[in-house]
Homo-oligomer: A and B are copies of this chain.
Amino acid sequence: MLKEKKVRESSLYKVRAVSSSTIRRLPVYLRLLDSLTRDDLKFVSSKQLSEKTGYTAEQIRKDLSRFGTFGTRGAGYDTEALRNEILKIIGLHKKIAVIVVGVGHLGTALLRYNVNKTPYTNVVAAFDTSPEVVGKRILDVEVLPAHKMEEIVKKHDVKLAILTVPSKNAQVAVDQVIQSGVQVIFNFAPTWVQVPEGVVVHNADISVELQSLIYYATTKEKEEYASTI
């Protein structure tokens, strides 16, 4: 989980970091607004957004008002305008350059189905050490040898690396990514990696999510039991 900045204290100002819960909801709003824009819906109310996302309408209004005043009383939010605001808030108003490190099945899957299907990220290259995949192309993305990483990162000002290497190679890959100048890493290897101060690592932690889900899958009986104590 990403750590939040501590609240700053001063005699004049309190600037509080945006809560991570809010940050996680923004992309959900964005996805919904994308589909509403496609449907040519001009205005949308917090109540309508609520019905689609499952969040309460108040929650949504609070989230949005954290960043400014985007709505029109009586009418709701201008779909297109709100979408643009959220893009700016997240930092997606300019395409962000991304690299994928590790072109096994998972890397290939992300390249094919997820990352470049949105207009927000631009995968400028993928990297691997295996001669069998280096030189290949997955959709539009070329697979390069690892020693080209720094050059590519500098050239395209890459801000984010998606790491899909096997666990045993994760630390080496992370070191190289950081060496190349990338400061934010989305790690899919089910392992913890060491990074210097200032580098952000977010672990996808599929097995943690799976096991949490197993708790809920096996827990109906447990809850029943607890309620009869």
* Complex interface residues of chain A between 85 and 105 (CB less than 8 A to chain B): 89-92, 96, 104-105
Q: Decide yes or no whether A106 CB sits under 8 A from chain B.
A: yes
Binds B, one of A76-84, A144-152, A198-206: A198-206
* Complex interface residues of chain A between 26 and 55 (CB less than 8 A to chain B): 26-28, 30-31
Mark interface residues in A1-22 (1 if CB within 8 Å of B CB, else 0): 0100100100001010100100
Once the chains bind, are B24 and A212 in contact (CB under 8 Å)?
yes
* Complex interface residues of chain A between 107 and 160 (CB less than 8 A to chain B): 108-110, 112-115, 118, 120-121, 159-160
CB neighbours of A17 from chain B (8 A): 223
Q: A205: shortest Cβ distance to chain B, in Å?
A: 8
Q: How far is the CA of A160 from the CA of B23 in the complex (A)?
A: 29
CB neighbours of A91 from chain B (8 A): 214-215, 217-219, 222
Q: Which residue of B has the minimal Cβ distance to A87?
A: B211
* Interface residues of A, dominant DSSP: helix
CB neighbours of A223 from chain B (8 A): 5, 15, 17
Binds B, one of A57-65, A172-180, A182-190: A182-190
Q: Decide yes or no whether A229 CB sits under 8 A from chain B.
A: yes
Once the chains bind, are B190 and A210 in contact (CB under 8 Å)?
no
CB neighbours of A213 from chain B (8 A): 2, 160, 184, 186, 200, 202
Once the chains bind, are A217 and B183 in contact (CB under 8 Å)?
yes
Q: Decide yes or no whether A181 CB sits under 8 A from chain B.
A: no
Q: A5: shortest Cβ distance to chain B, in Å?
A: 7
Q: Decide yes or no whether A226 CB sits under 8 A from chain B.
A: yes
